[in-house]
Structure 1
Amino acid sequence: MDADFSKRRARLLARFEAQARFCKAASPLYHRLFTLLGERLAQDAAFAAWILEAAAGRSSFDVPLLVLAGLHFQVLSRRPEARELAAYYPSVGGPAPATAPGLGPTLFATLDALRDELAAFIATRPVQTNEGARGLCWLLPATYTGWKSAHLVELGASAGLNLAADGRRYELSLQGGGLQVFGLGREDAFAVQGEGDFAPPATGVPPQILSRSGCDLAPLALADSAKRAYLAAFVWADQPARLQALKAGISALLQASSHSPLSFEACRLPEELPAYLAGLGRLAAPCILFNSYITMYLPDRGRGLAPLVARWARAQPHPVLWLQWEHLRGDHAPKAPVPGWLAWQVDLWQNGRHGHWHLAWVHPHGSRVCWLPALAPWRDFWS
């Protein structure tokens, strides 16, 4: 084995092990699948060579997600080769538990039978995020502004589900008791557990959205059933509530598009961002720009976004509000209270001035939030 092979193998093994740790509490099935795949990667040189060849040129962070999404896609597509594995997937009614001893042999038999299809999936498909709870990223801060209307823009929009967050329902549990509701939806609520002192907005009413725009490396058109299945493949298969939320999100987006224009464009971030933003023109109302958990997938890990957004925002005639749920990087960056949590940050360009707030730390799935002292100054700024 040459040194480069061993290095890439060790890096990828660390990614599988990290994903197994991350989902241990939330997804027993995926915890076991990531663990089994990591063990085979460590023990089987031929398997390691296959997966490293398929993953050539891909970020090591993406590969474990793509392997399991590729398998889930085959299960959802009812491929005969995946029929036995489907018995372990609650997403298609599989009754077998993740702890069953037959999962390992079935997993690898399925992998062997579908090697060509899975290799193509790993090599060519982009990771598609579809976590509708992340819509709270823009919805909650925007309710503080008091703006009557605004344009909404998402970077890394995937299928654009979070562009319709104002039509969903987010139930924020407050520390010490009480509940704060955001969004106009009445069903399929996202439960969010809050920690720390919460400074509520004056009304909780978001601006009316005049237009909804998104860009992505490979935007998905949800009118295509195959693309809906592809999006669903990135949901952990033993979390039926998230699959149901995905269906509700698709309905909400279609409903939102009947009230305000909806558009998507292909865009490679960060290099094509200036052209995309320029194409939006000079907006006739404030703009709410947001992104959530996309910088992990960018070649520069998102470092190039801020100067490009700032340059565009300063040239706009109306305020620009930029919301982010992303990892903080750098030796001097604040550390998340829980490894893997995201920083909830706000930037505002208004009347020739720029302000920045770090409101909270948040779980990547939006299920828990730890509020920071900056939330109260954010509230007071608007009052």
Structure 2
Amino acid sequence: MLAELFAAAAHGCRDRSPLTQRLLADAADDLSRGGVTARIMAGAERDREGSVPGLRFAGAVHRLVLEGRAPALAKHYPSVGGQPDLPRLWEDALPALNEYTALLRHRIGATVVQTNEPGRCAPLYGGLLVAAQEAAKAAGRQVPFCVRLLEVGASGGLNLRPHHVAYRLDDGTTLGDPGSTLVLDPEWTGRPPADLTHRLRVVGRAGCDLQPVDVSTEDGRLHLSSFVWADQLNRWNRLRDALDLAAADPVKVDRAAGPEWLAKHLARAERDVLTVVWHSVVWQYVSPADRAMGRAVLADAAAKATPTTPLALLVFEPRREIDYRFALMLKIWPAGISLCLGVGVGHGIPFTWDVTPWE
């Protein structure tokens, strides 16, 4: 039942975004009563849990605010300078919901949730350092491998620049690019099992998505911004800085399905380069058929990997067996390395480094 999915989404952000929680809880009640939310969500009644219809609704409403279409609602949204008054939120939302019912229904039906959270660069950067150094050790090399990064489900490609981000640690150390316009406080507990004095060298990067977001356009920037919970200003500011970095260092994201795209890029191995296949918080959106095809493509490439053309899989995805926290997991071929490097929240910050076998 759609109202139950909305209520579950509200519960999921209860400790992180009171504004989104209240909006979705009130929308769930409105759905149950057959109110305006039911008209907005018409056609989505059979959406599965993984498509997160509640978050698509919240994103569409947030975009109205960002576009200046809902001034009464905007006063509740910190992303545009507002201050939430939760008891009055739904009352002030109703005029916009009624006025823009058709627009909201169209946007909710035509989009998928794409947070493209730049905070995930923090665990990714540490994981890439580990991968480059462990693959080098397995090959008997003194110097870590250069990295070619291939991202599946890349959205706007904001996480394809991990080497151009500054990571400011709590001991005063800065990793990555100290002069970057995007500065992250990773909030790490522990450290990656790697020599952090080695600089990550990225010699190639590419990404694909079924619905890539062109972050060079106002529409693309609004699309990604709408999915940031409006009362999480740290995330909001990170996204602003990540969009500025993307403008200075553009990377094209191909419109393609993951398995076919991966097969094309993995058909070409580069000597003395570690190829890293990467994805984060996309697995729930991938069909079972594409998951199986992706695994087969990766297995074929892994069987062909050599010590001088190694292959790695680095993923940041939820794991139910660890209370739905998000785990950073690494496999390297032909070294036979398979590790869970640590766990964190879905937005990548904070993160705890704790190496265990990936079984």
TM-score bracket, shorter-length normalisation:
0.7 to 0.9
Q: Distance in 1 between matches of 2:192 and 2:202?
A: 24
Question: What secondary structure, in the 3-state scheme, does the structure 2 residue paired with 1:372 have?
Answer: strand
Q: Distance in 2 between matches of 1:247 and 1:63?
A: 25
Q: How far has the Cα of 1:253 moved from its partner?
A: 2.8
The aligned counterpart of 2:165 is 168
Q: How far has the Cα of 1:293 moved from its partner?
A: 0.4
The aligned counterpart of 2:353 is 371
The aligned counterpart of 2:311 is 320
Q: Distance in 2 between matches of 1:214 and 1:109?
A: 40
Q: Which one is further off, 61-70 or 273-282?
A: 273-282
The aligned counterpart of 2:14 is 24
2:239 pairs with 1:246: yes
Q: Distance in 1 between matches of 2:242 and 2:37?
A: 37
After superposition, the CA RMSD in angstroms is 2.6
Q: Distance in 2 between matches of 1:254 and 1:283?
A: 29
Amino acid across the alignment from 1:191: D
Distance 1:29 1:48, change over 3 A: closer
2:332 pairs with 1:343: no
Q: How far has the Cα of 1:198 moved from its partner?
A: 4.1
Amino acid across the alignment from 2:195: A
TM-score with structure 2 length normalisation? 0.85
The answer as to whether partners of 1:20 and 1:35 remain within 8 angstroms in 2 is yes
| 1:292-342 CA-partner distances (Å, limit 9, x unpaired) | 10011122297423333222233355111111111236xxxxx21xx3311
Where do 5+ consecutive residues of structure 1 fail to align? 1-8, 330-334, 378-383
The aligned counterpart of 2:224 is 231
Q: Distance in 2 between matches of 1:36 and 1:198?
A: 42
| 1:248-293 CA-partner distances (Å, limit 9, x unpaired) | 1122234344xxxx33211234xxx134431454132221221110
Q: How far has the Cα of 1:207 moved from its partner?
A: 2.9
Question: What secondary structure, in the 3-state scheme, does the structure 1 residue paired with 2:339 have?
Answer: strand
Structure 1 vs Structure 2: percent identity of aligned residues? 25
Match for 2:68 among 78, 83, 94?
Answer: 78
The answer as to whether partners of 2:208 and 2:261 remain within 8 angstroms in 1 is no
Match for 1:59 among 22, 25, 48?
Answer: 48
The answer as to whether partners of 2:36 and 2:101 remain within 8 angstroms in 1 is no
Q: How far has the Cα of 1:216 moved from its partner?
A: 0.6
Q: Distance in 2 between matches of 1:129 and 1:97?
A: 22
2:282 pairs with 1:294: yes
The aligned counterpart of 2:140 is none
The answer as to whether partners of 1:282 and 1:316 remain within 8 angstroms in 2 is no
Q: How far has the Cα of 1:56 moved from its partner?
A: 5.0
Q: Distance in 1 between matches of 2:194 and 2:266?
A: 29
| 1:91-128 CA-partner distances (Å, limit 9, x unpaired) | 1122x4232x3211111221111110011111111221
Distance 1:306 1:276, change over 3 A: closer
The answer as to whether partners of 1:171 and 1:182 remain within 8 angstroms in 2 is yes
The answer as to whether partners of 2:127 and 2:328 remain within 8 angstroms in 1 is no
Q: Distance in 1 between matches of 2:145 and 2:249?
A: 17
Alignment of 1:257-276 (within 5 A): 257=250, 262-269=251-258, 273-276=259-262
Distance 1:48 1:300, change over 3 A: farther
Match for 1:309 among 280, 298, 307?
Answer: 298
Q: Which one is further off, 209-218 or 239-248?
A: 239-248
Q: How far has the Cα of 1:204 moved from its partner?
A: 4.1
Q: How far has the Cα of 1:185 moved from its partner?
A: 3.8
Distance 1:231 1:123, change over 3 A: same
Amino acid across the alignment from 1:320: L
Distance 1:183 1:70, change over 3 A: same
Q: Which one is further off, 295-304 or 104-113?
A: 295-304
Q: Distance in 2 between matches of 1:301 and 1:91?
A: 39
2:88 pairs with 1:97: no
Amino acid across the alignment from 1:153: L
The aligned counterpart of 1:205 is 198
Amino acid across the alignment from 2:177: L
Number of matched pairs: 340
The answer as to whether partners of 1:326 and 1:342 remain within 8 angstroms in 2 is yes
The answer as to whether partners of 2:79 and 2:231 remain within 8 angstroms in 1 is yes
